[in-house]
Structure 1
Amino acid sequence: MQHETNGNVEPDRIANEPLSSQIARNCLMTRARQISRVLTSVYDDALRPFGIVAPQFSLLVLIAEFGPISRSDLGRRSQHERSTLTRNLQPLIAQGWVAEGVPARDGRSRPLSLTCEGDALLKNAASAWSAAQHHATRLLSERGAHELMNIARKLPLRMV
């Protein structure tokens, strides 16, 4: 169990417990990644019939919301590193769900936008996303889901 002191989360300490056991039981990164893997699995299962996985679906949503958008801007908004972003974008472009525009004045930036097919995919998969969202909320509890959303809203955009 963890307790809060002066705004800091401090791990519970058990006498003579190895440091590795304390870290394994109390590591925020480990728990966040565990939650991420479980939630990703919930959304992947729901979206699989549409030929898309959760990270790709998230990118489609961001492109729909903010497009046309550069890869670097999309990477900042999605918290993806360049190689991960490229790996998730390639199938979206290959399937014709995302289009790359002509290079901008700088010659490097090619804005990404949703195609009509990508927009149709979002609309068709909306009920699957909604079911996954409901399942994820049940897993986390209403309060937990609300807190997770509040934490995410406070996170800074990636700088790179």
Structure 2
Amino acid sequence: MQHEPKGTVELDRAADEPLSRRIARNCLMTRARQISRVLTSLYDDALCPFGIVAPQFSLLVLIAEFGPISRSDLSRRNYHERSTLTRNLQPLIAQGWVAEDVPASDGRSRPLSLTHEGKALLDSAACAWSAAQSHVTRLLGESGAHALMNIARELPLRVV
């Protein structure tokens, strides 16, 4: 792998190799999405007995941590598109785990907060999350897990 002076990853160069093969072998986006799908699957399996999937659990945690929070602030914190956020929030609201408060003074924003049931779910599913977290840490290795967390900490908030 060659590195440009600015630190960006460049394609391995093999003149006789098709461009698509070089991209497939070196694409950071493809690798990150592959890792994301594997990790999501591991958390999904652990959280399944609680009737929640990993993306929804993530939202519960963020709402607990930063709530009451508007949908737009939540999507900025978690890099969600509006439709993805809505799709993941709907079951949480329908199950009574998340409540939408009355509209704020602007008449549009309806802050999200955890209900008592949502807090209880978060508490009861924490053991499953912890088991999945340990599994993922073993899979990535301590240094890989720390590197992933450090990368995530450095990401800017999404502008919506």
Structure 2 CA distance, aligned partners of 1:62 and 1:39? Answer: 18
Runs of 4+ aligned structure 1 residues displaced above 3 Å come to none
Give the structure-2-normalised TM-score. Answer: 0.97
- Name 1:113's counterpart in structure 2: 113
1:137-156 equivalences under 5 Å are 137-156=137-156
- Deviation of 1:5 after TM superposition, in Å, equals 3.7
Unaligned runs of 5+ in 2: none
Q: Per-residue CA shift, 1:73-93, capped at 9, x if unaligned?
A: 001001101000000000000
- Name 1:130's counterpart in structure 2: 130
- Name 2:101's counterpart in structure 1: 101
Q: Establish whether residue 36 from structure 1 lines up as the match of residue 42 from structure 2.
A: no
- Name 1:4's counterpart in structure 2: 3
Aligned-partner residue type, residue 4 of structure 1: H
- Deviation of 1:15 after TM superposition, in Å, equals 3.0
Structure 1 CA distance, aligned partners of 2:130 and 2:104? Answer: 36
Give the structure-1-normalised TM-score. Answer: 0.97
Aligned-partner residue type, residue 74 of structure 2: L
- Deviation of 1:10 after TM superposition, in Å, equals 1.9
Structure 1 CA distance, aligned partners of 2:56 and 2:80? Answer: 12
Structure 2 CA distance, aligned partners of 1:117 and 1:123? Answer: 10
- Deviation of 1:13 after TM superposition, in Å, equals 1.7
- Deviation of 1:9 after TM superposition, in Å, equals 1.6
Aligned-partner residue type, residue 41 of structure 2: S
Between the two proteins, what is the percent identity of the paired residues? 81
- Name 1:58's counterpart in structure 2: 58
Structure 1 CA distance, aligned partners of 2:16 and 2:81? Answer: 40
Please provide the CA RMSD for this pair.
0.8
Structure 1 CA distance, aligned partners of 2:137 and 2:2? Answer: 25
Aligned-partner residue type, residue 30 of structure 2: T
Q: Per-residue CA shift, 1:97-123, capped at 9, x if unaligned?
A: 000000001110000000000000000
